[in-house]
Structures are given as structure tokens and as C-alpha cells.
């Protein structure tokens, strides 16, 4: 193997370390040693420990995508990325190897100074990063940081220009928006109107933990420069309490007025609004003239009349995904209201007119469980009636070459659907999911056998690979070394 050229080894390693699908799984410190992420990570760590030449090649796979769940991990990672001693006494940074950063880490209120310092430093070091998905968890019961500067957008505003190259290299950004507006005294004097320039950003996700946090979208409309943006997702909390009010709701449309003309995909996962704030789907589409795919809730947006000419027709829309309640499909059996809610019916009628000549797909997702197929949520006693209703609409839409689908693009009305039985993986979902199911079953069988191995950990500082300590769960911050670093940082601030 040592005689093989590095290009061949790199090609082989790429096959050995690509079993984890980052789009389907979110790794956690608690998911166990047999998870796809754990298996993939162990393979990468094993490769870098073989020899120096393998370490040099495999390090690019080890650091390509990093996940942080504790603030101690953040500090330790930055220390490794800043410089690793080589045999000749020089230091070599691993920062350029990190391309995808995912953080959902717990931040106690007394450690926000360290959090700010090391997050800013991480962004500065990883100047070739393509993904930055960041959602810190603040100490309960807070849903916002104690210090205003610790929110993600304000941290970035205060860190320019040192992180400019990182921002320009990003292609995908996901962060939690917050309420507070930055005091003018904190804005750098050189930037009277500070901007965050994302030259290559294509996918942006803004998540609000509370409806009031939607006000933080102010920064997206006023400070974000995104010439290449294609997909925008705005996610509000699903609770019915504290619905978006007249103060928060316009912030969503301010973002669309600024960036909507460039979008091809828009997800507005806002499931509730205060009464009187319901908007028309036309209000969204007139701000997004090139939109090809749209996801909205039928409780928040109203359909246009089928023959409406305002402001359509919408020539580019190809896929419309609707988040619906079961009341739109299953009739209410109450004496006062025995009929279906007409929210979904209005949207389906809308698509039969001339407003959407390019529409080819309509997706239906449950309002509260959008990743679960509808026929798994609706009571079995109502399956027959629901199937007949959706079948009639599927046939009507098919006359216009429109397909009715649900989760993962599966046809909503079809073979083995609405039977009240578990899906047949081989006939319903194809060979890929059969293979995935078999792999998951095999991993589950191995979990008990590897339980003892999971707690046998060691630390090797020469290759920069940090293993979990055997008593990892005793502290929410990470290892004892990380606690010492954090204590020094906290005291110095």
C-alpha cells in the first residue's frame, strides 16, 4: 500500500469514509457506537493512525465535516486547528481542511466570553468552509444569549473583516435568529452600515426559537449581501401559543423584498399567525418571480381564485408543497361542522386554473409531523374516505400532468397506500431503502457487541485526533483539559 501514489490512496479513502449521509442523520454524543456517524468517524481515525503518509492524506477526510455539541469541543477544536507541531518544530494548520461546520452546543451563561472568542476564531481559521450550521443552546430557561454580541449574526458583524474570506467561501448557512437589535455603540466605526458579503452562498436557513425572534430577520434584509442565493428557508416555532404578530410578520416579507428576486426555492415554515395576518400566496409569488419550488402552510397563506389574474400567471413554479392539517382531508364528525376544512380544497382548485402553467408536483405534508407520511397519521377508520377523496383529486390533477405526492416525493395515492399496514420496503421504496434498512439492522445487532469498545478511549496528541474520555458524560463542557482552558479564558475576560 505504501507504494501506491497518493492520488490512488486518496481515491480509496474516499470510498472507505463516505458511508455517513449528512442530509439524513444528525449525529449526537448519545446515539451510540453503532450509528453511521460513529462508524464513519472510527474509520477516519483509524486511517490517520497507520503511518505519517496515510495521516497526511486521511486528515482531509477526518476534518472535512466537524460536529460540535459541547463548548469544550469548540475550544479543543480551535486549539488543534490553530497549529499542530511537526517533526521539524514548525506548525501546520488544519483549518483549510474543514469544509463543513455543524454546531448545536450548550453554552452556560458564565461561558459566553469564551464562546464568542472561540467561535470567532473558528470562523477566522476555517477560511475555505462551505457549510456553517450553527445553533447554540443557551442555558435554560433562556432562548437567547445574555450578551447581545453572542448571537450568531452579531458575532459575525463584530468579527469582520477577519472572517471575510470564510463568509465569501460559504455555500450553505444555517443559524438561529434572535430578537435584540445591536446597539450602534457596538458597530465598528469603520463600518457605518456593516455588511456581511456571501459571494457564493446558495442555501440560507433562518430558524426562530420563538415567534418574537423573527424580528432578527432584520439583519438578513439589511446586512446580508447574497448575489448567488437560490434557496431560503425561514422556520418559526410550531407552537400555537405566541403566534407571530403584526411586529414580527412583516420581517419575513422584508427579506423577500430584498432577496426574493434571486430565489428558486422558498420554504416558509411559519405554521401559525395571529388572526387577521393571513396572507395570500400571491403576496409571496409577486416578490419571487423566478421561484420554482415553494413550501407554505395552508393555515398561514390563502389560495388565489382559480381564474385570478393577480399578479400571475406564475410561469416558473414547478412544485408546490402544502403543510395541511388532518381536518383538510378527514371530515369533522361533529354536529356543528361535519365538513372538511376548505383550506386544501381552495389550493387544489387554484392549480386547475391558468395561474401555474409549469406546475408538475403538489406535495402534501402534515402540519405538525412533516416527515411522516399522511397515511401513517390519519386514523385507520378514516383511511377509506380519505383515500377516495385524495384519489379523486389525484386523477383530476393528472389530467394537467400534475402529480400528488407526500414525504420524499412518494405518490400519495398508489399501490399499498392507505391500507393501515406498514409499507413494503421492497415494492414501495426500491432497492436503495431495502439496502439501507438491512444496514441499519446489522448495525443494531452489532451495538451490544461493541458496547465495551465504546468506552475504551485513548488520546493521541501527535496527530491531532481527540478521543472522548471514558467519563465523558460527567461534564456538559467536555474534558478536564477543556475546562482548564475555559477557566483561563473566562478569568482573562
pLDDT tens digit string along 421-434?
A: 544 444 444 444 55
**Residue 469 located in a structural domain:** yes
Which residue from 36, 18, 47 is spatially nearest to 447, judged by alpha carbons?
Answer: 36
- Confirm whether 18 is domain-assigned: no
Percentage of the chain exceeding pLDDT 70: 68
How far is residue 364 CA from its own chain's centroid? 20
- pLDDT higher than threshold 60 for residue 314: yes
- CA end-to-end span of the chain: 50
What's the whole-number mean pLDDT along residues 303-320? 81
Which three-class secondary structure string do you get for the chain?
Answer: CCCCCHHHHHHHHHHHCCCCCCCCCCCCCCCCCCCHHHHHHHHHHHHHCCCHHHHHHHHHHHCCEEEEEEHHHHHHHHHHHHCEECCCCCEECCHHHCCEEEEEEEECHHHHHHHHHHHHHHHHHCCCCCEEEECCEECCCCCCCCCHHHCHHHHHHHHCCCCHHHHHHCCEEEEEECCCCCCHHHCCCCCCCCCEECCCCCEEEEEECCHHHHHHHHHHHHCEECCCCCEEEEECCCCCCCCCCCCCHHHHHHHHHHHHHHCCEEEEECCCCCCCCCEEHHHHHCCCCCCCEEEEECCCEECCCCCCCCCCCCCCCCEEEEEECHHHCCCCCCCCCCCCCCHHHHHHHHHCCCCCCCCCEEEEEECCCCCCCHHHCCCHHHHHHHHHHHHHHHHHHHCCCCEEECHHHCECCCCCCCCCCCCCHHHHHCHHHHHHHHHHHHHHHHHCCCHHHHCCCCCECCCCECCCCCCHHHCCCCCHHHHHHHHHHHHHC
Look at residue 39 and tell me whether its pLDDT is greater than 70. Answer: yes
Quote the mean pLDDT of the chain: 76
Cell of 477: 463542557
Q: How far is it, in rounded angstroms, from Cα 484 to Cα 461?
A: 17
435: cell is 439496502
Q: Which pLDDT belongs to residue 3?
A: 73
Kindly state the cell numbers that stand for 237.
416555532
Domain that holds residue 391: 65-492
Residue 165 has pLDDT above 90, yes or no: yes
Comparing 17-31, 35-49, 350-364, 446-460, the range with the smallest average pLDDT is 446-460
Of the candidates 283, 306, 282, which has an alpha carbon nearest to the alpha carbon of residue 355? 306
429 φ, ψ (degrees, to nearest 5): -125, -5
Q: Is the model's pLDDT at 493 over the cut of 70?
A: no
- Model pLDDT, residue 22: 65
Q: What is the pLDDT of residue 193?
A: 66
Q: What is the spatial distance between Cα 72 and Cα 405, in angstroms, rounded to a whole number?
A: 44
The pLDDT-based confidence of 166 (bands split at 50, 70, 90) is very high
CA-wise closest residue to 277 among 229, 241, 323, 244: 244
Q: Is the backbone of residue 210 left (phi > 0), alpha (psi -120 to 50) or beta?
A: beta
Decide which of 338 and 391 is more confident: 391
Does 37 reside within a domain? no
**Per-residue pLDDT averaged across 103-132, rounded?**
91
Q: Is residue 57 part of a domain?
A: no
**d(Cα 301, Cα 272) in Å, to the nearest integer?**
10
Mean pLDDT, rounded, for 355-372: 90
pLDDT surpasses 90 at 142: no
Is 17 among the domain residues? Answer: no
Return d(Cα 163, Cα 122) in angstroms, integer: 9
Name the domain count of the chain: 1
pLDDT tens digits, residue range 391-411? Answer: 999 999 999 899 999 888 888
Please report whether residue 442 resides in a domain.
yes
Answer whether residue 150 shows pLDDT above 80: yes
Backbone φ and ψ of 404, nearest 5° = -95, 120
Maximum distance among all Cα pairs of the chain, rounded to whole angstroms = 84
Give dist(CA 284, CA 269) in Å, integer. 13
Residue-wise pLDDT tens digits, 213-233: 888 898 999 999 999 999 999
Residue 70 lies in a domain: yes
pLDDT per residue as tens digits for the range 51-91: 888 888 888 888 888 888 888 889 999 988 887 544 444 45
Residue 256 confidence class, pLDDT cut points 50, 70, 90: very high
CB count in 10 Å sphere of residue 306? 14
Q: Examine the pLDDT at 462 and tell me if it is beyond 50.
A: no
Whether the pLDDT of residue 122 is over 90: the answer is: yes
pLDDT at 386 over 80: yes
Query: Residue holding cell 471575510?
Result: 164
pLDDT for res 453: 44
Query: Which residue in 247, 225, 252, 223 sits closest to 236, CA to CA?
Result: 252
The region of weakest confidence among 127-136, 153-162, 362-371, 405-414 is 405-414
d(CA 204, CA 133): 10
How far is the C-alpha of 16 from the C-alpha of 3, rounded, in Å?
19
Whether residue 44 lies inside any domain: the answer is no
Least confident of 181-190, 343-352, 431-440: 181-190
pLDDT for residue 472 is more than 60: no
pLDDT for 339 equals 62
Sign of CA dihedral 416, 420, 421, 423: positive
pTM, to two decimals? 0.78
- Evaluate whether 76 touches 479 at the Cβ level (below 8 Å): yes
Amino acid at each position: 500500500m505504501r507504494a501506491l501514489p497518493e492520488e490512488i490512496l486518496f481515491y480509496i479513502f474516499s470510498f472507505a469514509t463516505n458511508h455517513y449521509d449528512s442530509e439524513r442523520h444528525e449525529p449526537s454524543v448519545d446515539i451510540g457506537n453503532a450509528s453511521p456517524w460513529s462508524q464513519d468517524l472510527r474509520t477516519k481515525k483509524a486511517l490517520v493512525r497507520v503511518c505519517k503518509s496515510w495521516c497526511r492524506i486521511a486528515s482531509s477526510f477526518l476534518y472535512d465535516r466537524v460536529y460540535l455539541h459541547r463548548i469544550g469541543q469548540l475550544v479543543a477544536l480551535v486549539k488543534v486547528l490553530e497549529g499542530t507541531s511537526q517533526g521539524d518544530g514548525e506548525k501546520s494548520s488544519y483549518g483549510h481542511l474543514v469544509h463543513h461546520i455543524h454546531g448545536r452546543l450548550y453554552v452556560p451563561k458564565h461561558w459566553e466570553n469564551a464562546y464568542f472568542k472561540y467561535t470567532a476564531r473558528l470562523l477566522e481559521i476555517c477560511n475555505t468552509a462551505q457549510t456553517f450550521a450553527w445553533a447554540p443552546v443557551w442555558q435554560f430557561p433562556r432562548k437567547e444569549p445574555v450578551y447581545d454580541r453572542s448571537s450568531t449574526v452579531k458575532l459575525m458583524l463584530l468579527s469582520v473583516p477577519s472572517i471575510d474570506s470564510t463568509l465569501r467561501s460559504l455555500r450553505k448557512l444555517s443559524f438561529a435568529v434572535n430578537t435584540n437589535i445591536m446597539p450602534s455603540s457596538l458597530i465598528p466605526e469603520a463600518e457605518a452600515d456593516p455588511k456581511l458579503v456571501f459571494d457564493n452562498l446558495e442555501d440560507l436557513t433562518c430558524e426562530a426559537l420563538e415567534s418574537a425572534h423573527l424580528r432578527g430577520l432584520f439583519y438578513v434584509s439589511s446586512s446580508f449581501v447574497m448575489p448567488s442565493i437560490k434557496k431560503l428557508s425561514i422556520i418559526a416555532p410550531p407552537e400555537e401559543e405566541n403566534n407571530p404578530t403584526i411586529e414580527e410578520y412583516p420581517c419575513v416579507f422584508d427579506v423577500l423584498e430584498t432577496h426574493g428576486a434571486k430565489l428558486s426555492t422558498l420554504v416558509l415554515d411559519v405554521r401559525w399567525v395571529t388572526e387577521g395576518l393571513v396572507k395570500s400566496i400571491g403576496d409571496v409569488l409577486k416578490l419571487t418571480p423566478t421561484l420554482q419550488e415553494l413550501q407554505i402552510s395552508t393555515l398561514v397563506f390563502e389560495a388565489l381564485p382559480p381564474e385570478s389574474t393577480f399578479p400571475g400567471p406564475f410561469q416558473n413554479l414547478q412544485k408546490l408543497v402544502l403543510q395541511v392539517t388532518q381536518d383538510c382531508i378527514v371530515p369533522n364528525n361533529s354536529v356543528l361542522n361535519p365538513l372538511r376544512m376548505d383550506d386544501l380544497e381552495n389550493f387544489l382548485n387554484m392549480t386547475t386554473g391558468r395561474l401555474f402553467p409549469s406546475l408538475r408536483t403538489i406535495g402534501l405534508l402534515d402540519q405538525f409531523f412533516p416527515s411522516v407520511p399522511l397515511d401513517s397519521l390519519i386514523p385507520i377508520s378514516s383511511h377509506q374516505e380519505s383515500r377516495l377523496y385524495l384519489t379523486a383529486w389525484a386523477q383530476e390533477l393528472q389530467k394537467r400532468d400534475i402529480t400528488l405526492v407526500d414525504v420524499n416525493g412518494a405518490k400519495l395515492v398508489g399501490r399499498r397506500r392507505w391500507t393501515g399496514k406498514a409499507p413494503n420496503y421492497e415494492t414501495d421504496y426500491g432497492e436503495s431503502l431495502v439496502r439501507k434498512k438491512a444496514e441499519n439492522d446489522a448495525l443494531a445487532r452489532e451495538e451490544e457487541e461493541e458496547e465495551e469498545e465504546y468506552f475504551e478511549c485513548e488520546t493521541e496528541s501527535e496527530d491531532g485526533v481527540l478521543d472522548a474520555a471514558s467519563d465523558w458524560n460527567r461534564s456538559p463542557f467536555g474534558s478536564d483539559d477543556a475546562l482548564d482552558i475555559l477557566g483561563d479564558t473566562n478569568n482573562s475576560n
